[in-house]
Amino acid sequence: MHVLVTGGAGFIGSHTAVALLERGHRVTIADDFQNSSPKVIDRIEQITGTRPGLAAVDLLDEEAFDAAFASASPDAVIHFAGLKAVGESVADPLRYYAHNLGSTFSLLKTMKRHGVRSLVFSSSATVYGDQQDPPYREDGGRLDATNPYGMTKVMLERILSDVAESEGGWHIGLLRYFNPIGAHPSGLIGEDPNGIPNNLAPYILQVAVGRLPEVNIFGDDYATADGTGERDYIHVADLAEGHVAALEKLSAVEGARAWNLGTGAGTSVRQMIAAFEAASGHPIPAIVRPRREGDLPRSWADTTRAASELGWTASRSIADMARDGWRWQSQNPNGFAD
């Protein structure tokens, strides 16, 4: 299959491009490099021996995107492109709604014009809000979110489902990611956040490599085993393989279908710090701070649906995630910057 990967130079997009190429699919990446580096394209080629096609285009530029789409002529799309910083979305909701919704509208209109109706969408476990206790089930109730970033995912899931209902022929997978971390085992691609990381794993890695002094533990008085927050961390390579599995099963889906991509197990902040200390061989100082507003105590996936319908389960351990994350960070202490 020839797959157009929007946001394919980003963290999850680049690992998915690698997984697709390794499965023998053709890949064209559409990315405006607003939050990613063109170096990723070279690294994907280094890993796989195949250079993906590239459309350096902003999805919001409908004319340019349409031309790029026509020239690539893909069979299916995996849509990663979008803004994803929770704090930024609270500070500037209009930008987040306009960008994430607008770029998806442009994509859907373009796909319709060209008769392409197979789409895998990057959603997030954030759509579960605080409506359920873990493990979160895809059909466990109303979707909700506690911030504008998360609401763009809730809204886009709804919009995609409405589009799929409105006419036959659409095959849409809504992939709800838990907490993707780690990196390709080559150390050539990985997560490269702008500024000070918001997420735990990249923050720990920057402490391990000496860019930041200590990890802030946001609360140790939760009703969890050691009092710190528990999350379902998933190796980005497992997540990438989940996309390939969803894409290959998409033709069996009439309309839109949601699948959780997680491991089904929770790991605490303190356990994560210990795993990265073991992987890096560096002490990782940490200090307990107040709870971060909006954080849930615990989150993990019910993985039954993805296992039975996609034939996919995550196989890599927390130790694998810490080892591969550390390899990426130690080989590229400044990410993709020179």
Verify binding: residue 132, ligand UDP, rule CB under 6 A.
no
Verify binding: residue 200, ligand UDP, rule CB under 6 A.
yes
DSSP 109-159: HHHHHTT--EEEEEEEGGGBTTSSPSSB-TTSS--B-SSHHHHHHHHHHHH
Return the CA Rg of the chain: 19
Verify binding: residue 224, ligand UDP, rule CB under 6 A.
no
Verify binding: residue 292, ligand UDP, rule CB under 6 A.
yes
Residues between 137 and 196 with contacts to ligand UDP, criterion CB under 6 A? 179
Site stretch for ligand UDP (CB under 6 A), options 36-44, 93-101, 199-207, 324-332: 199-207
Q: Which amino acid is at 86?
A: V
Site stretch for ligand UDP (CB under 6 A), options 49-57, 77-85, 106-114, 215-223: 215-223
In 3D space, the residue among 89, 29, 74 whose CA is nearest the CA of residue 55 turns out to be 29
Verify binding: residue 129, ligand UDP, rule CB under 6 A.
no
Q: Which is nearer to ligand UDP, 106 or 123 (CB)?
A: 123
Residues between 47 and 106 with contacts to ligand UDP, criterion CB under 6 A? none
| Beta carbon of residue 137, minimum distance to ligand UDP (angstroms, whole number) | 18
Whether the CA torsion 16, 22, 26, 31 is positive or negative: it is positive
Which residues on adjacent β-strands are paired with residue 289?
A: 218
Verify binding: residue 229, ligand UDP, rule CB under 6 A.
yes
Question: Is 233 an annotated catalytic residue?
Answer: no
Verify binding: residue 265, ligand UDP, rule CB under 6 A.
no
Q: Which is nearer to ligand UDP, 216 or 304 (CB)?
A: 216
Spatial contact of 232 and 226, defined as CB atoms under 8 Å apart: no
Distance of alpha carbon 91 from alpha carbon 88, whole angstroms? 5
Q: Which of 50, 146, 186, 199 binds ligand UDP (CB under 6 A)?
A: 199
DSSP 170-203: -EEEEEEE-EEE---TTSSS----SSS--SHHHH
Q: Identify the DSSP state of 219.
A: -
Q: Which is nearer to ligand UDP, 36 or 228 (CB)?
A: 228
Task: List residues with catalytic annotation.
Answer: 149
Binding region for ligand UDP (CB under 6 A) = 179, 198-200, 203, 216-218, 229, 231, 269, 292, 295
